[in-house]
Amino acid sequence: MQSGFGGGPERWRNEREVILEAVDSDGDFLDIGCANGHLLECLCQWAQTKGIALTPFGIDYGPRLVELARQRLPQHANNFWVADAWDSQPPRRFRYVYSLYDNVPQVLLGEFVGRLAARCVEPGGTLIIGAYGSRREPAFDVGRFLRDSGYRLAGSASVGQPPVTCIAWVSLEVGRSEQTTHGPARPFGAPLASTEAE
């Protein structure tokens, strides 16, 4: 099992490669909640077969997971940080930023998307929000949520019927720009109040 997924490599690729529908050129790719880096590693490999070069970056709240990601991608070890997705401030912005919708409670999702757009995505970049479901429970419709929240989508895609994976993406030039952030940001790598549970 990798990244909490036990469905086998073919199903893993089928249900995760759709993220690359939002990727149309080379660039740095930041995964918010990167876990052990397995998804990032796969996305970079799959993108390469399409002639696209992605450089992986990731943050996660769990120090042990970040260390596993660094070990998995040693040539990019300096691109992974221990950080909280909600209030951390990256040292720079990225061409692509990916986050699952349930990194925060749904009541905070609209504000979370605004924070990521304001803090993490470079001008002309793409913010990708994803959701995973199962054959018994469809994935959350992130595209509908973003539209209902006032964003103009640059695109959306899904896998399965009912969908087991849904993604939607917003261009920083296309999505609404009036989103604001609230409260002080914590620099990447700053100490956190607690560590990963045993």
pLDDT tens, residue by residue, 117-133: 999 999 999 999 999 99
Q: Are 164 and 138 in contact (CB under 8 A)?
A: yes
Strands 80-82, 54-60: pairing kind: parallel
**CATH number, position 69:** 3.40.50.150
Q: What is the mean pLDDT of residues 176-196?
A: 42
For residue 161, being part of any structural domain is answered with: yes
Closest CA to 123 of 177, 79, 168: 177
For residue 2, being part of any structural domain is answered with: no
Q: Are 4 and 100 in contact (CB under 8 A)?
A: no
Q: What is the Cβ-side half-sphere exposure of residue 79, based on CA atoms within 13 angstroms?
A: 24
For residue 187, being part of any structural domain is answered with: no
Q: What is the pLDDT of residues 52-73, one digit of tens each?
A: 999 999 999 999 999 999 999 9
- The yes-or-no verdict on residue 179 having pLDDT over 70 is no
Query: For residues 60 and 79, what is the distance between their CA atoms, to the nearest angstrom?
Result: 12
pLDDT at 194: 34
For residue 44, being part of any structural domain is answered with: yes
Domain with 125 in it: 9-180
| CA angle (81, 170, 130) in 5-degree steps | 60
For residue 142, being part of any structural domain is answered with: yes
Q: What is the pLDDT of residues 33-46, one digit of tens each?
A: 999 999 999 999 99
For residue 4, being part of any structural domain is answered with: no
Query: For residues 103 and 98, what is the distance between their CA atoms, to the nearest angstrom?
Result: 11
DSSP3 helix / strand / coil % (the chain, rounded to 5): 35, 25, 40
DSSP structural state of residue 5: B
State the chain's maximal CA–CA distance in angstroms: 43
Radius of gyration of the chain measured on its C-alpha atoms: 16
For residue 185, being part of any structural domain is answered with: no
Cβ neighbours for 178, distance < 8 A, ≥ 6 positions apart = none
Q: What is the mean pLDDT of residues 94-115?
A: 96
For residue 154, being part of any structural domain is answered with: yes
How many independent structural domains does the chain possess? 1
